[in-house]
Amino acid sequence: MASIDAPSTDQPRHQLPFPFSNQDDSTPPPLLLTQGAEALVYRTTFLTPSTACALKYRPAKPWRHRTLDMRLTRQRILAEARVLTRCRREGVTVPAVLGLDWERGWLAQEWIYGNTVRRVLDWVHRESALSSSEKEHQVHQLLQRIGSALGRLHERGLVHGDLTTSNLMLRPAESDITEEDKQVGKAVRISNTDGEVVLIDFGLAQQTVQEEDKAVDLYVLERAFASTHPEVEQEFGHLLQAYGESHKGAKTVLKRLEDVRMRGRKKSMLG
């Protein structure tokens, strides 16, 4: 689902549930990518050795009452799967749901071959040999595609809830992905900023018709750009311009964004 920029060398610390617990010796072991308070994310395979997937596993929490823990796990897995399924049905580019089991606490999603926008922007400014004008052009094009993708999401009455450049992926054309790129532990090589924007990690997503919620979604991403990519912060307007042109209610959301920014500045001043 996300690229492996710095794969973990740790072995899985939890016994994975069926069907991920009985893979044969010919299948690479699950690779732990991230470990949060609620869930672990692995790169592994689903049903066949050739079907790569991103596995989000929510192990039982021994500090929580078992009945409550099972209820929360079920609610969160189903909520994320429903949002992803709706996005796919309504033309928002997200990973496909391959399978789930709320009793065992897992959700398997399509593996997206590509890189996070965070990794791509780092490549543009720190590793590429592009000229200043080429960098500017490629970044502008990328920001516009992101703005359009977020517009499609919000137009459907959905907000992501945790927009960062690590939860946005860039998927190159299939012809640009080699078999070596598809090996476990490899990140797809970056040669430009072309590709399809894919939204990932919908664990905090929700359905809403409120402009306020959509404006907060944009504000969170804007702050993420400011803290993680200060060299691109001044270019964020290209993203908002494309967003404003993406659907009928977008300009109302952008007006509300000004109010959200004002509250954010006041909060920073007051501590």
Q: What is the pLDDT of residues 138-174, one digit of tens each?
A: 999 999 999 999 999 999 999 999 999 999 999 998 8
SS3 percent helix, strand, coil of the chain, rounded to 5, is 40, 15, 45
Residue pointed to by tokens 């997937």:
53
Domain ranges of the chain: 31-110, 115-264
In CATH, which of 3.30.499.10, 1.10.357.10, 1.10.510.10, 2.60.450.10 is domain 115-264? 1.10.510.10
Backbone phi, psi, residue 113, to 5°:
-80, 120
Class at the top of the CATH hierarchy for domain 31-110: alpha beta
Q: How confident is the model at residue 25 (pLDDT cuts 50, 70, 90)?
A: low
Q: How confident is the model at residue 13 (pLDDT cuts 50, 70, 90)?
A: low
Between the CA of residue 75 and those of 92, 96, 137, what are the distances in Å? Answer: 23, 19, 43
Q: Report pLDDT digits (tens) over 66-102.
A: 999 999 999 999 999 999 999 999 999 999 999 999 9
The whole-number pLDDT of residue 181 equals 81
| Residue of 10, 24, 101, 162 marked active site | 162
Q: Is the pLDDT of residue 189 over 60?
A: yes
Catalytic site includes residue 162: yes
Model pTM score: 0.89
